[in-house]
Structure 1
C-alpha cells in the first residue's frame, strides 16, 4: 500500500519539499508520495489529528507551525531543547527537529566553522530556534534581532548563556552587524513571491561577513544578492532544505535517501 507523507504550512505553495521527496522515492523505487497541505493556525490541531486518523505516515512542519505543534506531539530530546518541531512520525506520534542538521550541514559544506564565531540571528521563530541552538552548541556569541523585540527577548531568555536580543532599528542592528562574523536570516523576508524585500539595509553589510539565508526560494534572495556585492561569503537555503529533508526521510523510512538527486531537483526547479 502506498505510504503518504507531506508538509504543512501557511503559506505552502512555495514549498519544493514535495518535488524533492518524490524524486527521492522515484529514484529508490519506493511506493510513497509526498504532498503539500495548506493548514491555517486555527486548524492545526484538526490537521494533526486528521492526518493520524487518515494513516498519513509522516509530516514536515513549516512556517508558522513549528512551535505550536509541540503541544500536539511528543517531542524528542533535541526538539524539546530547541523548542520547535519540523518533522512528525505518525508511527509513534513523535516530533523531531531536523533543521539543526540542515543548518550545520549547510555551513560545513560551505567550509564555515561556527566554533567561537560572533553570530547575528535575524528572527525568533521555529527556524531561528534551530539556528540559535546550533550557534550555542558551537560556542558562539549570539545576538538575536527581531522585528518584535519582545519575542526576541523571550527567546534569548529561554536560551540563556549570555544571548542578547535587539530590535531592527539601525542604531542597534548596525553595530551588531559590524561586530558579527556570521549573519543568519531565519525570517521569511525575501521569500517568494515577495522576492524584492530584504530584512536589513544592505549598506550595513561588510565584506568579512558570512551571510546565510535560510530561504531557498528564490535561489538567490535580495539579501544574498546585496551581500555578494559587498564581498561577503554567501550561503543559500538550498542545502538546508536538502539536509533537513534527508534527515526526515531517514526518520520515516530508516534508509538513506539519494541526497544528490534531491538537491538536483531543487536547483533545477529554482532556475526555471
Structure 2
C-alpha cells in the first residue's frame, strides 16, 4: 500500500516532519510519501475542502490550525477533545478523526531520556505556560498518575481552565510567574511550554531559575535553539535537562503509529535530529 501523508500549517516549508516521517516509512518497510501543504489562513476553508478530495491516509497539523481544523473533522479522540487542539488527523473509513499526540509525545520522550521518572519518583511538577501544548502535557501527565502538577502563567484564567480540566486525583495550584520563581525549589520536574526563548529571540527567558535544586529535571519544549537560555541556566545550576527535539520526535512516532499501527523504533534518530537542528 502506498501511504499518502502530509502536514498542513503556515508556514511549513522549513519543517523537519518530512525527514522524520520518511525515516519512519523506511523503518516500517512501507511505501509512501509525506508532503507539505502550506495553507494560507485567509483561504483555509477552501483549501481544506480541496484537501478532502485528496487520497490522504492522514496528516499532521501545525500552527496556526490546531484549533481551526476541528470543525472540519468527523470525530475527536478523547485527548484531542480535552486539549481543544488537534495535531494529527487519521482518515479511517472515509472519516477524518482528530488526535493530539503532543502530550503523550512529551511523556514518551521524557521517560526515554530519564527511565526512572514515574509517579513514584516525581512528587511535584511545575508547568510554565497555559497554551495548547501545556494542556496536552498536563493531561498526559495526569493520565500517567502524577498527582501534583502546578501551573504558572501570566494569564491566570488560562491556567485555571487547564486545572479545572484535570481529574480529582490531581492536585493543582495556579501561580503567577513571580511566585513560581520563588517556589522553584519545590519541584522535581519543571516544564517550559511557552514560545519565550525561541529563535530569533534566544536571549529571552520566561523566568529565573536562581533557586532551582540541582536534583531537578528541567524541560523546554522549544527546539530552536536546541538548548534555550532557560535550559542553559538549569545546567549551570547542576540540574538535568530535557531538550525540545525529543517531544518533536516522539509525538511524530505516536502519530505514525496512529496512521499505520506500526510502532517504529527511534534508534539513532534522536541524535540525527539534534545534529540537524544544531546545524541550522
Shorter-chain TM-score bucket reads 0.7 to 0.9
SS of the aligned residue for 1:144 comes to: strand
Q: How does 1:89-128 map to 2 (within 5 A)?
A: 89-91=90-92, 92-109=95-112, 110-115=114-119, 117-128=123-134
Q: Quick check: 2:130–2:159 contact (8 Å CA) kept in 1? A: yes
Aligned length: 270
Q: Deviations over 1:151-198 (max 9, x none)?
A: 222222233634232332x2x222342322211111122233333322
Return the alpha-carbon distance in structure 2 between the equivalents of residues 256 and 164 of structure 1.
36
Quote how far apart the aligned CAs of 1:43 are: 4.7
Q: Quick check: 2:181–2:207 contact (8 Å CA) kept in 1? A: no
Return the alpha-carbon distance in structure 2 between the equivalents of residues 117 and 136 of structure 1.
13
Return the alpha-carbon distance in structure 2 between the equivalents of residues 22 and 75 of structure 1.
26
Q: How does 1:1-272 map to 2 (within 5 A)?
A: 2-39=2-39, 43-73=43-73, 74-91=75-92, 92-109=95-112, 110-115=114-119, 117-137=123-143, 138-159=145-166, 161=168, 162-168=171-177, 170=178, 172-260=179-267, 262-272=269-279
Quote how far apart the aligned CAs of 1:81 are: 3.4
Q: Tell which has more relative contact order, 1 or 2 (C-alpha 8 A, sep 6+).
A: 1
SS of the aligned residue for 2:18 comes to: helix
Return the alpha-carbon distance in structure 1 between the equivalents of residues 56 and 5 of structure 2.
6
Return the alpha-carbon distance in structure 2 between the equivalents of residues 43 and 122 of structure 1.
33
Unaligned ranges ≥5, structure 1: none
CA, structure 1 residues 77+198, in 2 after alignment: closer, same or farther (shift >3 Å)? same
Unaligned ranges ≥5, structure 2: none
Q: Quick check: 2:28–2:262 contact (8 Å CA) kept in 1? A: no
TM-score by structure 1 length?
A: 0.86
| Higher helix proportion (structure 1 or 2) | 1
SS of the aligned residue for 2:53 comes to: helix
Q: Give the aligned CA root-mean-square deviation in angstroms.
A: 2.6
Q: Quick check: 1:214–1:240 contact (8 Å CA) kept in 2? A: yes
SS of the aligned residue for 1:59 comes to: strand
Q: Deviations over 1:210-230 (max 9, x none)?
A: 101122232222211111011
Q: Deviations over 1:37-59 (max 9, x none)?
A: 34465554444433222223211
Return the alpha-carbon distance in structure 2 between the equivalents of residues 37 and 112 of structure 1.
39
CA, structure 1 residues 136+29, in 2 after alignment: closer, same or farther (shift >3 Å)? closer
CA, structure 1 residues 42+195, in 2 after alignment: closer, same or farther (shift >3 Å)? same
